[in-house]
Amino acid sequence: MYDVHSKCADDFIDHEEILATLAYADENKENTELIDSIIEKAKKRKGLTHREASVLLACPIEEKNQEIYRLAEQIKKDFYGNRIVMFAPLYLSNYCINGCTYCPYHAKNKHIPRKQLSQDDIIREVTALQDMGHKRLALEAGEDPVRNTMDYYLESIRTIYGIKHKNGAIRRVNINIAATTVDNYRLLREAGIGTYILFQETYHKESYLELHPTGPKHDYNYHTEAMDRAMEGGIDDVGLGVLFGLDKYRYEFAGLLMHAEHLEAAFGVGPHTISVPRLKHADDINPEEFDNGIDDETFLKIIACIRIAVPYTGMIISTRENKSCRGKALHLGISQISGGSRTSVGGYYEPEPEDENSEQFDVSDNRTLDEVVRWLMEMDYIPSFCTACYREGRTGDRFMALCKSGQIQNCCHPNALMTLKEYLTDYATPETKKIGDRLIEKEVLNVPNEKVRKVVLENLRLIEEDNRRDFRF
Ligand code: SAM
């Protein structure tokens, strides 16, 4: 029985409730009166329920869809301004004992080269990432309790935070690893991780069991209840996601929002981020063999509907998507993107030889971080390398409180400008620096509080002239 407060996955992602939601959405997808009232509710920026948002997602009326897109764009601007947070994935290991049928790291894949970064490898990779300008990483790994142990992760996190190369530093380490125990989540929290990310892959239990035929990940409930355990372990920034292409997207969309509603109901704080990965070609994986692929138009509508359904939740897009799709997705709600990514184990310090390809999926955006940064600025976005919230203890509901206080423009905006200035001074090409300095000059005038603006101007000067770093509000 559907119960948003229950700690049991079968209750908070109740199959019958999803089916009823989809039926309700089908019945009402052309009910303009209801659709208008849902859009009006969304304009209050307090979010929508999974049922309401599912009606909007199902709606085929072009005029209403345009309204949804306009609203998503407006909400994005109101909550996130024109800032886009930058990050890079770092694959630690592709050893895996699971049987996920869509992932090339599955245990039966005997020809993919298996690799695990040693602490020395990590130092080399992270130094290369710092030299690109990255400050925020998402650690990725397959599930292998013997090789990829919690001790290995904790040691790797310590290593990463400890690397100070030139003016570089990784200031926030997020982690995307297999579901684990409350005690392990507590250890990750104590090690200073930012967000714990775990994709659900699919909320459809029956499909989930087929798609994960072997290995610990086969346990749907253990996987689906992972965020509850993470929160019990004290991690209050968690990142959800589904892998679009595995099951029907409307089912996944409803499940995703129900999961967010559950975390809000059970812990008083919703997900910090939602990722929207789409299934990609990879080593022995052919996405055509999966029946539920979605086109760009549907993908973008999903992003817009998530944006208005959970306005306070950051949204992440990776280099699984190409430049054009990423550009459109940014307008509709994405707040974080990766740049210059490698999805192989190693490859930042030195490209992998062709016959040693350990990639998890093919990357569709092969631009360097500098090219992505310049492209964003040419569209009037501010690439932000800010990690202040988490370092100032503004996680979970305290981060949400900042969003709701209206002080973002006096806090996140200056932090974005100061960290962009660091990037431009230390890592950018001359052309990127020129564009960025002009953008900062213009954007600093948009800091509303005069005192804050003065401090920002002084800090920008100190970054450039005195080689000072790491200013933050
Ligand atoms: N091993 C971890 C777990 O059990 O969830 C997750 C880390 S995995 C390195 C990161 C994510 O990549 C997976 O959760 C999955 O959604 C995604 N992924 C796997 N195969 C993919 C493919 N062929 N195309 C796109 N994304 C894929």
Indicate the pLDDT class of residue 8, thresholds 50, 70 and 90. Answer: very high
Ligand 1 contact via 193 beta carbon (within 6 Å):
no
Give the type of residue at 28: N
As a whole number, the mean pLDDT across the chain is 97
Ligand 1 contact via 143 beta carbon (within 6 Å):
yes
CB environment 221-255: b (16+ within 10 A), e (fewer): ebbbbbbbbbbbbebbbbbbbbbbbbbbbbbbbbb
Instruction: Show Cβ contacts of residue 98 under 8 Å, excluding neighbours closer than 6 positions.
Output: 105, 106, 107, 142, 143, 178, 212, 214, 215, 216, 217, 218
Which of 91, 94, 100, 103 has most ligand 1 atoms within 8 Å of CB, for mutation? Answer: 103
Mean pLDDT to the nearest integer, 138-156: 98
Render pLDDT for 225-247 as a digit per residue (tens, 0 to 9): 999 999 999 999 999 999 999 99
Distance 104 CA to ligand 1 centre (A): 9
Residue nearest to atom 20 of ligand 1 (CA): 103
pLDDT at 404 over 80: no
Q: Coil, strand or helix: which one is 291?
A: coil
| pLDDT for position 311 | 95
Render pLDDT for 162-198 as a digit per residue (tens, 0 to 9): 999 999 999 999 999 999 999 999 999 999 999 999 9
Q: Coil, strand or helix: which one is 72?
A: helix
pLDDT at 397 over 90: no
Indicate the pLDDT class of residue 36, thresholds 50, 70 and 90. Answer: very high
Q: Which CATH architecture has domain 80-366?
A: Alpha-Beta Barrel (3.20)
Render pLDDT for 413-459 as a digit per residue (tens, 0 to 9): 999 999 999 999 999 999 999 999 999 999 999 999 999 999 999 99
Mean pLDDT to the nearest integer, 279-294: 96
Q: How far is Cα 360 from Cα 179, in angstroms, rounded to an integer?
A: 19
Distance 59 CA to ligand 1 centre (A): 30
Indicate the pLDDT class of residue 221, thresholds 50, 70 and 90. Answer: very high
| pLDDT for position 410 | 86
Instruction: Show Cβ contacts of residue 28 under 8 Å, excluding neighbours closer than 6 positions.
Output: 34, 35, 55, 58
Render pLDDT for 48-94 as a digit per residue (tens, 0 to 9): 999 999 999 999 999 999 999 999 999 999 989 999 999 999 999 99
Distance 103 CA to ligand 1 centre (A): 6
Q: What does the block give as tokens for 120?
A: 């020395």
Distance 137 CA to ligand 1 centre (A): 16
Distance of CA 23 to the CA centre of its chain: 30
| pLDDT for position 402 | 81
Q: pTM of the predicted model, to two decimals?
A: 0.98
**Upper half-sphere CA count for residue 452 (Cβ side, 13 Å):** 19
Ligand 1 contact via 139 beta carbon (within 6 Å):
no
Q: Coil, strand or helix: which one is 215?
A: coil
Q: How far is Cα 176 from Cα 316, in angstroms, rounded to an integer?
A: 13
Atom of ligand 1 nearest to the CA of 281: 23
| pLDDT for position 354 | 85
Q: How far is Cα 48 from Cα 55, in angstroms, rounded to an integer?
A: 11
Render pLDDT for 306-316 as a digit per residue (tens, 0 to 9): 999 999 999 99
Q: What does the block give as tokens for 62?
A: 């072009």
Are the C-beta atoms of 76 and 85 separated by less than 8 Å? Answer: no
Mean pLDDT to the nearest integer, 394-403: 83
Q: Which helix (H) or strand (E) holds 392?
A: none
Residue nearest to atom 13 of ligand 1 (CA): 199
Are the C-beta atoms of 373 and 423 separated by less than 8 Å? Answer: yes
pLDDT at 403 over 80: no
Q: How far is Cα 48 from Cα 308, in angstroms, rounded to an integer?
A: 7
Which of 92, 147, 150, 176 has most ligand 1 atoms within 8 Å of CB, for mutation? Answer: 176
Mean pLDDT to the nearest integer, 352-371: 93
Catalogue the long-range contacts made by 38-43 (C-beta closer than 8 Å, 24 or more residues apart).
39/64, 39/67, 39/68, 39/71, 42/71, 42/75, 42/308, 42/309, 43/71
Q: How far is Cα 179 from Cα 349, in angstroms, rounded to an integer?
A: 29
| pLDDT for position 409 | 79
Q: How far is Cα 205 from Cα 15, in angstroms, rounded to an integer?
A: 8
Q: What does the block give as tokens for 387?
A: 């990690």
| pLDDT for position 97 | 98
Mean pLDDT to the nearest integer, 106-119: 97
